[in-house]
Amino acid sequence: MPKDLNARATPARLPASDRLRLQAGTLLGDAAAVLSRALGKGSGASIRGQILTRIHPDAFAELVKGRRIASVTGTNGKTTTTHFLAAALRTGLGPDADRLVTNADGANLHYGIASSLAKAPHADIAVLETDERVVKDLIVHGRPEVLVLLNFSRDQLDRNHEIKFLARSWRDALANAGSDGPVVVANSDDPLVVWAASDVKKVIWVDTASTWTADAALCPQCGSLLQRDNPSQDAPTGAWDCPGCDLTEPPADYRVRGTDIELPSGERVASALNVPGAFNVANAACALAAAVEFGVSVPDALAGFSTVRAPAGRFAVTSIGDSLLRLVLSKNPAGWSESLPLLSSDPVILAIDSVAADGKDVSWLWDVDFEQLRGRRVICSGPRAYDLAVRLEYGDVTHEVISDVSDAVRAVRGTSEPVDVIATYTPFQKLLKMAGLR
Protein backbone atom coordinates (compact mmCIF):
# COMPACT_ATOMS: atom_id res chain seq x y z
CA MET A 1 0.00 0.00 0.00
CA PRO A 2 1.21 3.56 -0.71
CA LYS A 3 2.38 5.56 2.27
CA ASP A 4 0.35 8.33 3.91
CA LEU A 5 1.68 11.65 2.63
CA ASN A 6 0.18 13.46 5.62
CA ALA A 7 1.90 11.28 8.22
CA ARG A 8 4.29 13.43 10.20
CA ALA A 9 7.75 12.65 11.44
CA THR A 10 9.96 14.37 14.00
CA PRO A 11 13.52 15.25 13.02
CA ALA A 12 15.98 13.97 15.59
CA ARG A 13 16.43 16.15 18.68
CA LEU A 14 20.15 16.80 19.04
CA PRO A 15 22.04 17.10 22.33
CA ALA A 16 22.72 20.66 23.45
CA SER A 17 26.43 20.49 22.57
CA ASP A 18 25.65 19.25 19.05
CA ARG A 19 23.01 21.95 18.58
CA LEU A 20 25.56 24.62 19.47
CA ARG A 21 28.11 23.22 17.03
CA LEU A 22 25.44 22.98 14.37
CA GLN A 23 24.35 26.57 14.96
CA ALA A 24 27.94 27.82 14.86
CA GLY A 25 28.66 25.86 11.70
CA THR A 26 25.47 27.12 10.07
CA LEU A 27 26.23 30.76 10.89
CA LEU A 28 29.79 30.55 9.61
CA GLY A 29 28.63 28.59 6.59
CA ASP A 30 25.98 31.20 5.82
CA ALA A 31 28.61 33.93 5.93
CA ALA A 32 30.81 31.96 3.54
CA ALA A 33 27.84 31.35 1.24
CA VAL A 34 27.08 35.08 1.09
CA LEU A 35 30.73 35.78 0.24
CA SER A 36 30.71 33.04 -2.40
CA ARG A 37 27.69 34.58 -4.11
CA ALA A 38 29.15 38.09 -3.86
CA LEU A 39 32.34 36.87 -5.56
CA GLY A 40 30.35 35.05 -8.23
CA LYS A 41 31.68 31.64 -7.18
CA GLY A 42 28.30 29.90 -6.99
CA SER A 43 25.19 29.51 -4.86
CA GLY A 44 27.23 28.92 -1.71
CA ALA A 45 25.52 25.65 -0.80
CA SER A 46 28.68 23.58 -1.10
CA ILE A 47 30.95 25.92 0.86
CA ARG A 48 28.26 26.30 3.52
CA GLY A 49 28.10 22.53 3.89
CA GLN A 50 31.87 22.11 3.90
CA ILE A 51 32.26 24.57 6.77
CA LEU A 52 29.32 23.07 8.63
CA THR A 53 30.71 19.54 8.42
CA ARG A 54 34.22 20.72 9.32
CA ILE A 55 32.90 22.22 12.56
CA HIS A 56 30.41 19.40 13.16
CA PRO A 57 31.71 16.26 11.38
CA ASP A 58 28.59 14.25 12.28
CA ALA A 59 26.19 16.84 10.86
CA PHE A 60 25.09 14.68 7.92
CA ALA A 61 24.37 11.62 10.06
CA GLU A 62 22.45 13.64 12.63
CA LEU A 63 20.49 15.87 10.27
CA VAL A 64 19.06 13.01 8.19
CA LYS A 65 17.71 11.16 11.24
CA GLY A 66 14.00 11.23 12.01
CA ARG A 67 12.84 12.67 8.69
CA ARG A 68 10.73 11.05 6.01
CA ILE A 69 13.19 10.83 3.13
CA ALA A 70 12.76 10.17 -0.58
CA SER A 71 16.16 9.90 -2.26
CA VAL A 72 17.07 10.02 -5.95
CA THR A 73 20.37 8.68 -7.26
CA GLY A 74 22.00 7.50 -10.49
CA THR A 75 24.53 8.75 -13.00
CA ASN A 76 22.20 10.80 -15.20
CA GLY A 77 18.96 12.60 -14.40
CA LYS A 78 19.29 13.01 -10.62
CA THR A 79 18.70 16.73 -10.51
CA THR A 80 15.69 16.82 -12.83
CA THR A 81 14.07 13.77 -11.23
CA THR A 82 14.57 15.31 -7.78
CA HIS A 83 12.87 18.50 -9.00
CA PHE A 84 9.98 16.45 -10.41
CA LEU A 85 9.56 14.50 -7.18
CA ALA A 86 9.79 17.54 -4.93
CA ALA A 87 7.25 19.40 -7.09
CA ALA A 88 4.87 16.42 -6.93
CA LEU A 89 5.10 16.22 -3.15
CA ARG A 90 4.63 19.98 -2.74
CA THR A 91 1.50 19.82 -4.87
CA GLY A 92 0.20 16.90 -2.81
CA LEU A 93 0.98 18.64 0.48
CA GLY A 94 -0.79 21.83 -0.61
CA PRO A 95 -0.78 24.36 2.26
CA ASP A 96 1.64 22.15 4.21
CA ALA A 97 4.32 22.33 1.50
CA ASP A 98 6.70 24.03 3.95
CA ARG A 99 7.11 20.62 5.59
CA LEU A 100 9.37 19.70 2.66
CA VAL A 101 13.06 20.44 2.19
CA THR A 102 15.15 19.56 -0.85
CA ASN A 103 18.67 20.20 -2.13
CA ALA A 104 17.39 21.73 -5.36
CA ASP A 105 20.75 23.27 -6.28
CA GLY A 106 22.27 19.85 -6.92
CA ALA A 107 24.74 19.84 -4.00
CA ASN A 108 24.41 16.09 -3.49
CA LEU A 109 27.44 15.04 -1.43
CA HIS A 110 27.41 14.72 2.36
CA TYR A 111 28.12 18.40 2.97
CA GLY A 112 25.63 19.62 0.37
CA ILE A 113 22.83 17.53 1.86
CA ALA A 114 23.78 18.64 5.38
CA SER A 115 23.75 22.27 4.23
CA SER A 116 20.20 22.01 2.88
CA LEU A 117 18.86 20.17 5.92
CA ALA A 118 20.50 22.58 8.37
CA LYS A 119 18.54 25.43 6.78
CA ALA A 120 15.24 23.63 7.44
CA PRO A 121 15.55 21.97 10.85
CA HIS A 122 11.78 21.54 11.28
CA ALA A 123 11.00 20.16 7.81
CA ASP A 124 10.03 16.53 8.35
CA ILE A 125 9.98 15.48 4.66
CA ALA A 126 13.19 15.59 2.62
CA VAL A 127 13.55 14.93 -1.10
CA LEU A 128 17.26 14.46 -1.60
CA GLU A 129 19.37 14.24 -4.71
CA THR A 130 22.09 11.85 -3.59
CA ASP A 131 25.46 11.20 -5.21
CA GLU A 132 26.01 7.53 -6.00
CA ARG A 133 28.79 7.35 -3.40
CA VAL A 134 26.58 8.76 -0.62
CA VAL A 135 23.71 6.27 -1.00
CA LYS A 136 25.20 3.78 1.45
CA ASP A 137 25.55 6.36 4.23
CA LEU A 138 22.07 7.73 3.60
CA ILE A 139 20.58 4.24 3.92
CA VAL A 140 22.50 3.63 7.15
CA HIS A 141 21.81 6.96 8.86
CA GLY A 142 18.66 8.32 7.22
CA ARG A 143 16.62 5.16 6.56
CA PRO A 144 14.86 6.65 3.50
CA GLU A 145 11.32 5.51 2.85
CA VAL A 146 11.74 5.59 -0.92
CA LEU A 147 14.94 5.30 -2.95
CA VAL A 148 14.92 5.97 -6.71
CA LEU A 149 17.69 4.18 -8.63
CA LEU A 150 17.88 5.71 -12.12
CA ASN A 151 20.85 4.28 -14.02
CA PHE A 152 24.57 3.59 -14.13
CA SER A 153 26.88 4.99 -16.78
CA ARG A 154 30.56 5.81 -17.16
CA ASP A 155 31.03 9.22 -15.62
CA GLN A 156 34.21 10.97 -14.47
CA LEU A 157 36.28 7.97 -15.54
CA ASP A 158 39.27 8.95 -13.42
CA ARG A 159 37.15 8.76 -10.25
CA ASN A 160 34.25 6.36 -10.94
CA HIS A 161 35.96 4.07 -13.45
CA GLU A 162 34.40 0.91 -11.99
CA ILE A 163 30.65 1.40 -11.98
CA LYS A 164 30.04 -2.16 -10.80
CA PHE A 165 31.78 -1.20 -7.55
CA LEU A 166 29.14 1.48 -6.99
CA ALA A 167 26.35 -0.94 -7.85
CA ARG A 168 27.77 -3.43 -5.35
CA SER A 169 27.83 -0.75 -2.64
CA TRP A 170 24.11 -0.11 -3.24
CA ARG A 171 23.37 -3.82 -3.24
CA ASP A 172 25.26 -4.40 0.02
CA ALA A 173 23.70 -1.40 1.77
CA LEU A 174 20.19 -2.48 0.80
CA ALA A 175 20.88 -6.06 1.88
CA ASN A 176 22.25 -4.88 5.23
CA ALA A 177 19.20 -2.69 5.80
CA GLY A 178 16.95 -5.73 5.45
CA SER A 179 13.32 -5.16 6.38
CA ASP A 180 14.15 -1.61 7.53
CA GLY A 181 15.33 -0.69 4.05
CA PRO A 182 13.52 1.59 1.63
CA VAL A 183 10.98 0.83 -1.02
CA VAL A 184 13.06 1.03 -4.19
CA VAL A 185 11.90 2.55 -7.47
CA ALA A 186 14.28 1.06 -10.04
CA ASN A 187 14.96 1.26 -13.76
CA SER A 188 14.27 -2.22 -15.14
CA ASP A 189 16.16 -1.41 -18.36
CA ASP A 190 19.50 -1.16 -16.56
CA PRO A 191 21.07 -4.52 -15.64
CA LEU A 192 23.33 -2.98 -12.98
CA VAL A 193 20.34 -1.31 -11.29
CA VAL A 194 18.36 -4.56 -11.42
CA TRP A 195 21.28 -6.47 -9.89
CA ALA A 196 21.68 -3.85 -7.14
CA ALA A 197 17.96 -3.99 -6.25
CA SER A 198 17.29 -7.68 -6.81
CA ASP A 199 17.09 -8.66 -3.11
CA VAL A 200 15.08 -5.67 -1.85
CA LYS A 201 11.82 -6.30 0.05
CA LYS A 202 9.76 -4.16 -2.33
CA VAL A 203 10.79 -2.88 -5.76
CA ILE A 204 8.65 -0.82 -8.11
CA TRP A 205 10.08 -1.43 -11.57
CA VAL A 206 10.00 1.27 -14.24
CA ASP A 207 10.56 0.47 -17.92
CA THR A 208 12.27 3.67 -19.06
CA ALA A 209 12.53 2.66 -22.75
CA SER A 210 16.26 3.41 -22.59
CA THR A 211 18.27 3.76 -25.78
CA TRP A 212 21.78 3.62 -24.27
CA THR A 213 23.24 0.15 -23.70
CA ALA A 214 27.00 0.69 -24.07
CA ASP A 215 27.56 0.48 -20.30
CA ALA A 216 25.55 -2.71 -19.84
CA ALA A 217 26.98 -5.35 -22.17
CA LEU A 218 27.97 -7.87 -19.49
CA CYS A 219 25.95 -9.46 -16.72
CA PRO A 220 26.97 -7.90 -13.37
CA GLN A 221 26.17 -11.16 -11.60
CA CYS A 222 28.11 -13.75 -13.63
CA GLY A 223 29.95 -11.84 -16.37
CA SER A 224 28.18 -13.43 -19.35
CA LEU A 225 27.39 -11.39 -22.45
CA LEU A 226 23.81 -10.18 -22.12
CA GLN A 227 21.31 -11.01 -24.84
CA ARG A 228 18.55 -8.69 -26.05
CA ASP A 229 15.24 -9.24 -27.81
CA ASN A 230 14.50 -7.57 -31.10
CA PRO A 231 13.89 -3.84 -30.62
CA SER A 232 10.38 -2.44 -30.87
CA GLN A 233 8.79 0.99 -30.70
CA ASP A 234 8.10 0.53 -26.98
CA ALA A 235 11.45 -1.16 -26.25
CA PRO A 236 14.08 0.58 -28.45
CA THR A 237 16.89 -1.75 -27.37
CA GLY A 238 14.86 -4.89 -26.68
CA ALA A 239 14.43 -6.62 -23.33
CA TRP A 240 17.66 -8.00 -21.88
CA ASP A 241 18.42 -11.40 -20.38
CA CYS A 242 21.51 -13.24 -19.13
CA PRO A 243 22.05 -16.68 -20.66
CA GLY A 244 24.50 -17.62 -17.91
CA CYS A 245 22.41 -17.08 -14.77
CA ASP A 246 18.94 -16.11 -13.57
CA LEU A 247 19.37 -12.32 -13.89
CA THR A 248 16.83 -10.98 -16.38
CA GLU A 249 14.83 -7.84 -17.06
CA PRO A 250 11.90 -7.90 -14.62
CA PRO A 251 8.29 -7.12 -15.61
CA ALA A 252 7.69 -3.41 -15.18
CA ASP A 253 5.02 -1.73 -13.06
CA TYR A 254 5.31 1.64 -14.83
CA ARG A 255 6.27 1.98 -18.49
CA VAL A 256 7.38 4.85 -20.72
CA ARG A 257 5.32 4.82 -23.91
CA GLY A 258 6.45 7.70 -26.11
CA THR A 259 5.51 10.84 -24.18
CA ASP A 260 2.98 8.90 -22.09
CA ILE A 261 3.49 6.93 -18.89
CA GLU A 262 1.65 3.66 -18.48
CA LEU A 263 0.49 3.06 -14.91
CA PRO A 264 0.33 -0.35 -13.16
CA SER A 265 -3.40 -0.40 -13.95
CA GLY A 266 -2.65 -0.21 -17.68
CA GLU A 267 -3.98 3.36 -17.96
CA ARG A 268 -1.82 5.78 -19.91
CA VAL A 269 -1.35 9.35 -18.75
CA ALA A 270 0.30 12.19 -20.68
CA SER A 271 3.53 13.36 -19.10
CA ALA A 272 2.91 16.94 -20.37
CA LEU A 273 6.37 18.13 -19.33
CA ASN A 274 7.89 21.56 -19.81
CA VAL A 275 11.40 20.17 -20.26
CA PRO A 276 12.39 18.40 -23.50
CA GLY A 277 13.68 14.94 -24.27
CA ALA A 278 12.63 11.31 -24.06
CA PHE A 279 15.05 10.87 -21.15
CA ASN A 280 13.01 13.38 -19.14
CA VAL A 281 9.86 11.34 -19.73
CA ALA A 282 11.84 8.45 -18.21
CA ASN A 283 12.85 10.67 -15.29
CA ALA A 284 9.22 11.67 -14.81
CA ALA A 285 8.07 8.05 -14.86
CA CYS A 286 10.47 7.22 -12.03
CA ALA A 287 9.41 10.33 -10.10
CA LEU A 288 5.75 9.42 -10.61
CA ALA A 289 6.26 5.93 -9.21
CA ALA A 290 8.07 7.39 -6.19
CA ALA A 291 5.47 10.11 -5.62
CA VAL A 292 2.57 7.64 -5.73
CA GLU A 293 4.41 5.36 -3.30
CA PHE A 294 4.88 8.35 -0.99
CA GLY A 295 1.13 9.00 -1.05
CA VAL A 296 0.64 11.59 -3.84
CA SER A 297 -2.20 11.09 -6.32
CA VAL A 298 -1.32 10.70 -10.00
CA PRO A 299 -3.12 13.97 -10.99
CA ASP A 300 -1.30 15.92 -8.26
CA ALA A 301 2.04 14.44 -9.27
CA LEU A 302 1.53 15.30 -12.95
CA ALA A 303 0.41 18.81 -12.02
CA GLY A 304 3.60 19.21 -10.01
CA PHE A 305 5.74 17.99 -12.92
CA SER A 306 4.29 20.69 -15.18
CA THR A 307 5.74 23.40 -12.91
CA VAL A 308 9.33 22.24 -13.56
CA ARG A 309 10.83 24.27 -16.40
CA ALA A 310 14.59 24.75 -15.95
CA PRO A 311 15.80 22.58 -13.06
CA ALA A 312 19.04 24.08 -11.76
CA GLY A 313 19.42 25.89 -15.10
CA ARG A 314 19.05 22.81 -17.30
CA PHE A 315 17.20 23.64 -20.55
CA ALA A 316 16.98 27.31 -19.57
CA VAL A 317 16.45 29.74 -22.44
CA THR A 318 18.39 32.85 -21.52
CA SER A 319 20.22 35.88 -22.89
CA ILE A 320 23.91 36.56 -22.41
CA GLY A 321 24.63 39.97 -23.85
CA ASP A 322 23.07 40.00 -27.31
CA SER A 323 23.07 36.21 -27.61
CA LEU A 324 19.96 34.13 -27.04
CA LEU A 325 20.83 30.62 -25.83
CA ARG A 326 19.28 27.36 -24.66
CA LEU A 327 21.55 25.70 -22.10
CA VAL A 328 21.86 21.90 -21.91
CA LEU A 329 24.07 20.05 -19.43
CA SER A 330 25.60 16.74 -20.52
CA LYS A 331 28.36 15.04 -18.56
CA ASN A 332 29.10 11.67 -20.15
CA PRO A 333 28.51 9.66 -23.34
CA ALA A 334 25.05 8.50 -22.28
CA GLY A 335 23.99 12.09 -21.56
CA TRP A 336 25.46 13.45 -24.80
CA SER A 337 23.78 10.71 -26.81
CA GLU A 338 20.42 11.71 -25.35
CA SER A 339 21.02 15.47 -25.70
CA LEU A 340 22.39 15.73 -29.24
CA PRO A 341 19.06 14.79 -30.91
CA LEU A 342 17.43 17.71 -29.06
CA LEU A 343 19.56 20.28 -30.87
CA SER A 344 17.43 22.29 -33.25
CA SER A 345 19.55 25.37 -33.89
CA ASP A 346 22.18 26.13 -36.48
CA PRO A 347 24.79 27.07 -35.25
CA VAL A 348 25.36 25.02 -32.09
CA ILE A 349 28.00 25.40 -29.38
CA LEU A 350 29.65 22.41 -27.68
CA ALA A 351 31.70 23.28 -24.58
CA ILE A 352 34.09 20.78 -22.97
CA ASP A 353 36.28 20.95 -19.87
CA SER A 354 38.15 18.32 -17.84
CA VAL A 355 38.66 19.59 -14.32
CA ALA A 356 37.62 17.43 -11.36
CA ALA A 357 33.92 18.23 -11.62
CA ASP A 358 33.86 17.23 -15.30
CA GLY A 359 36.14 14.22 -15.08
CA LYS A 360 39.72 14.56 -16.31
CA ASP A 361 39.50 11.75 -18.87
CA VAL A 362 37.80 12.92 -22.09
CA SER A 363 38.26 9.70 -24.05
CA TRP A 364 34.47 9.30 -23.83
CA LEU A 365 34.20 11.79 -26.71
CA TRP A 366 34.89 8.88 -29.07
CA ASP A 367 31.78 7.04 -27.86
CA VAL A 368 29.37 9.82 -28.88
CA ASP A 369 27.71 9.98 -32.30
CA PHE A 370 28.73 13.51 -33.26
CA GLU A 371 28.28 12.59 -36.92
CA GLN A 372 24.61 13.58 -36.61
CA LEU A 373 25.79 17.23 -36.55
CA ARG A 374 27.08 17.12 -40.13
CA GLY A 375 25.84 20.07 -42.17
CA ARG A 376 25.57 22.50 -39.25
CA ARG A 377 27.89 25.20 -38.03
CA VAL A 378 29.49 23.68 -34.93
CA ILE A 379 31.55 25.75 -32.53
CA CYS A 380 33.94 23.85 -30.25
CA SER A 381 34.59 25.69 -26.99
CA GLY A 382 36.02 25.24 -23.53
CA PRO A 383 39.52 24.26 -22.38
CA ARG A 384 39.32 20.88 -24.17
CA ALA A 385 37.91 22.32 -27.39
CA TYR A 386 40.75 20.91 -29.46
CA ASP A 387 40.13 17.38 -28.18
CA LEU A 388 36.55 17.77 -29.37
CA ALA A 389 37.76 19.25 -32.66
CA VAL A 390 39.88 16.14 -33.33
CA ARG A 391 36.83 13.94 -32.73
CA LEU A 392 34.71 16.06 -35.10
CA GLU A 393 37.45 16.04 -37.73
CA TYR A 394 37.39 12.24 -37.76
CA GLY A 395 33.60 12.36 -37.93
CA ASP A 396 33.67 14.68 -40.96
CA VAL A 397 31.78 17.36 -39.03
CA THR A 398 32.67 20.88 -40.15
CA HIS A 399 33.62 22.94 -37.11
CA GLU A 400 35.51 25.91 -35.77
CA VAL A 401 37.32 26.34 -32.46
CA ILE A 402 36.62 29.29 -30.16
CA SER A 403 38.17 28.12 -26.91
CA ASP A 404 36.91 30.89 -24.66
CA VAL A 405 33.24 30.28 -23.83
CA SER A 406 32.52 34.02 -23.62
CA ASP A 407 33.90 34.54 -27.13
CA ALA A 408 31.90 31.58 -28.43
CA VAL A 409 28.71 33.10 -27.02
CA ARG A 410 29.48 36.46 -28.64
CA ALA A 411 30.07 34.69 -31.97
CA VAL A 412 26.36 33.75 -32.18
CA ARG A 413 24.81 37.03 -31.09
CA GLY A 414 21.83 38.49 -32.89
CA THR A 415 19.93 35.28 -33.70
CA SER A 416 16.13 35.40 -33.48
CA GLU A 417 15.88 31.85 -32.14
CA PRO A 418 17.88 30.38 -29.23
CA VAL A 419 21.24 28.83 -30.07
CA ASP A 420 21.63 25.43 -28.42
CA VAL A 421 24.65 25.02 -26.14
CA ILE A 422 25.62 21.63 -24.74
CA ALA A 423 28.26 21.84 -22.03
CA THR A 424 29.95 19.67 -19.47
CA TYR A 425 29.60 20.67 -15.82
CA THR A 426 32.22 23.40 -15.43
CA PRO A 427 31.46 25.42 -18.60
CA PHE A 428 27.75 24.94 -17.88
CA GLN A 429 28.22 26.58 -14.48
CA LYS A 430 30.15 29.41 -16.14
CA LEU A 431 27.29 29.96 -18.57
CA LEU A 432 24.78 30.05 -15.70
CA LYS A 433 26.92 32.67 -14.00
CA MET A 434 27.20 34.72 -17.20
CA ALA A 435 23.41 34.57 -17.56
CA GLY A 436 22.80 35.56 -13.94
CA LEU A 437 21.11 32.23 -13.19
CA ARG A 438 23.26 31.34 -10.20
Q: Does the active-site annotation cover 229?
A: no
Please tell me whether residue 1 adopts helix, strand or coil conformation. Answer: coil
List 137, 260, 361, 367, catalytic entry: 361
245 is in an annotated binding site: yes
Do the Cβ atoms of 423 and 328 come closer than 8 Å?
yes
Cβ atoms 359, 324 nearer than 8 A:
no
- Render 187-243 in DSSP notation, one character per residue: ETT-HHHHHHHTT-S-EEEEE------TT-SB-TTT-PBPEEPPP-SS-TT--EE-S
Q: At what angle do helices 163-177 and 135-142 cross, to 10 degrees?
A: 10
Which residues, 6 or more positions from 137, have their beta carbon under 8 angstroms from its beta carbon? 60, 61, 110
Helix, strand, or coil here: 380? strand
CA distances from 298 to 183, 242, 285, 290, 295 (A): 18, 34, 11, 11, 9
Asked if residue 380 belongs to a known ligand binding site, the reply is no
Nearest Cα to Cα of residue 303 among 90, 125, 28: 90
CB atoms within 10 A of CB 411: 17
In 3D, which of 138, 216, 160 has the Cα closest to residue 331?
160
Q: Is 242 annotated as a binding residue?
A: yes
Confirm whether residue 286 is marked as ligand binding.
Answer: no
| Annotated binding-site residue numbers for Zn(2+) | 219, 222, 242, 245
| Annotated binding-site residue numbers | 219, 222, 242, 245
Instruction: Show which residues are catalytic.
Output: 361
